[in-house]
Amino acid sequence: GTKEEKEYEIAQRKLQFRKPEKIWNTVLFFENGVTTDPELASLKTFVHYLDSARATIQLCLYRMSHWTLGDVLLKKFNKRRGLLIQIITDYDVFTSIDKGTTRLFRKCFDEGMSLKVRRSKSHMHHKFAIIDGEAVLTGSLNWTEQAFTGNHEDVLVTTNPLHVDKYMQRFRTLWRNSQDP
Amino acid sequence: GTKEEKEYEIAQRKLQFRKPEKIWNTVLFFENGVTTDPELASLKTFVHYLDSARATIQLCLYRMSHWTLGDVLLKKFNKRRGLLIQIITDYDVFTSIDKGTTRLFRKCFDEGMSLKVRRSKSHMHHKFAIIDGEAVLTGSLNWTEQAFTGNHEDVLVTTNPLHVDKYMQRFRTLWRNSQDP
Ligand SMILES: [Zn+2]
Ligand SMILES: [Zn+2]
């Protein structure tokens, strides 16, 4: 809505810092939860990206049932006045298929985060996050425990405006065309 | 193997062109197969990226059952002497779960493409392509008809060496640790 868009603009303008180029233009690889291989990322690395948000976190997630990540969001949201967190998730997943996702996102919504659900012919299959309107995380990784501990997954991190602007624009369109939970 | 690595090096060295910056640093969004919205990409756009490969296509795909894409690969491979196509796919998907993926990749293998299967605790869930060692396509999109026609999906395209080098390195490691079909 208009109020949220205004909040968002304000949050954006507050940003006075730039994210370090090299750290925010990289790829995280996961493999069956292995973290001893220096080529591979860990849940902790992933959390660090989320945790460094200063103004806005915009999530467009098919699934989200990993409570380590849920707790990071809830803690940040409750500690940091003015942090805007917007979530779009899949209608079918939220309303029926995946109780883990429903429980976690319901909690986020009850705590005051903005949440919308998006209908689709099959899946709203995105798994991307926009951090501070400045960086995007996207890839194969669903935010579930299986994905982090049992799968081979990649998450690309980028601050290239050619990428970020497209995700921002797409998020706005999806948000407008999504419904309340 | 050593022979393939040599072939690959040669193919890389042959490259005399650079990919246009803006076209190869972007994001493709799909939504239920809608293609009239200028914000959205089409299957045709996606095919164009594949089809512009000149030396190498390295695929790491959880699923691949879309014959439009299969036909593009087969046609390019048979027409262009010296084009190297390497494929890594998920062991479980290839050997049992998804007959569509098995049939398509089996055909690619029979026609002479290099193919390996990767075991994982749960899924080898990647869905990325490296084109000419110079660009990467990654995101939420499985290469299936449902993904292109029924889902909301994103595919990020990048030529940033901070991204591409990581995918190249990861592909090599996965390839080494994968088995013959
Ligand atoms: Zn899916
Ligand atoms: Zn999966």
Residue A1 belongs to some domain of the structure: no
Q: Does the structure show a pLDDT above 70 at B21?
A: yes
At B61, is the pLDDT very low, low, confident or very high (cuts 50, 70, 90)?
very high
Residue B38 at interface with chain A, using a CB cutoff of 8 Å: no
Q: What integer pLDDT is reported at residue A1 of this predicted model? A: 54
Q: Note the pLDDT tens digit of each residue in B120-175.
A: 999 999 999 999 999 999 999 999 999 999 999 999 999 999 999 999 999 999 99
Q: Does the structure show a pLDDT above 90 at B73?
A: yes
Query: B67-100: b or e for each residue (b if 16 or more CB lie within 10 Å)?
Result: eebbebbbebbeeeeebbbbbbbbbbbbeeebeb
Probe site for chain A from B92, B151, B167, B175 (most A CB atoms < 10 A): B151
Q: Which residue of A has its CA nearest to B27?
A: A163
B125 Cα–ligand 2 center, Å: 6
Cβ distance B158 to A153 less than 8 Å, yes or no, reads: no
Residue positions of B annotated with a catalytic role: 125, 127, 132
Residue B62 belongs to some domain of the structure: yes
Q: Which residue of B has its CA nearest to A88?
A: B152
Tally of domains within chain A: 1
Q: Quick one: which H or E segment has residue B87?
A: strand B84-90
Q: How many CB atoms lie within 10 A of CB B24?
A: 20
Q: Per-residue DSSP letters for chain A?
A: -HHHHHHHHHHHHH------TTTTSEEEEEETT--SSTTS--HHHHHHHHHT-SSEEEEEES-B--HHHHHHHHHHHHHSTT-EEEEEEEHHIIIII-HHHHHHHHHHHHTT-EEEEE--SS-B--EEEEETTTEEEEES--BSHHHHHHSEEEEEEE--HHHHHHHHHHHHHHHHT-B--
Q: Note the pLDDT tens digit of each residue in A126-171.
A: 999 999 999 999 999 999 999 999 999 999 999 999 999 999 999 9
Residue B33 belongs to some domain of the structure: no
Residue A12 belongs to some domain of the structure: no
Range of the domain at B101: 2-10+50-176
How far A81 CA sits from the closest chain B CA (Å)?
32
Residue B181 belongs to some domain of the structure: no
Q: What integer pLDDT is reported at residue A92 of this predicted model? A: 94
CB nearest A154 (choices: B126, B141, B153):
B126
CATH of residue B154's domain is 3.30.870.10
Which has the higher per-residue pLDDT, B119 or A9? Answer: B119
Cβ distance A122 to B150 less than 8 Å, yes or no, reads: yes
Residue positions of A annotated with a catalytic role: 125, 127, 132
- Low-confidence stretches of chain A (pLDDT < 50) are none
Residue B122 belongs to some domain of the structure: yes
Distance from chain centroid for Cα A145 = 15
Q: Which candidate, B132, B130, B126, B141, places its Cα nearest to that of B163? A: B130
Tell me the count of A-B CB pairs closer than 8 A.
Answer: 132
How far A141 CA sits from the closest chain B CA (Å)?
8
How far B162 CA sits from the closest chain A CA (Å)?
6
Cβ distance A154 to B139 less than 8 Å, yes or no, reads: no
Q: Quick one: average pLDDT of B81-108?
A: 93
Q: Which residue of B has its CA nearest to A158?
A: B163
A123 Cα–ligand 1 center, Å: 7
Residue A39 belongs to some domain of the structure: yes
Q: Note the pLDDT tens digit of each residue in B75-91.
A: 999 998 789 999 999 99
Q: Which residues in chain A (63-92) have CB-CB distances under 8 A to chain B?
A: none
Cβ distance B152 to A167 less than 8 Å, yes or no, reads: no
CB nearest A158 (choices: B120, B125, B158):
B158
Q: Quick one: average pLDDT of B21-30?
A: 95
Q: Which candidate, B14, B8, B1, B54, places its Cα nearest to that of B168? A: B8
Residue A16 belongs to some domain of the structure: no
- Residue in the structure block whose two tokens are 């005399």: B16
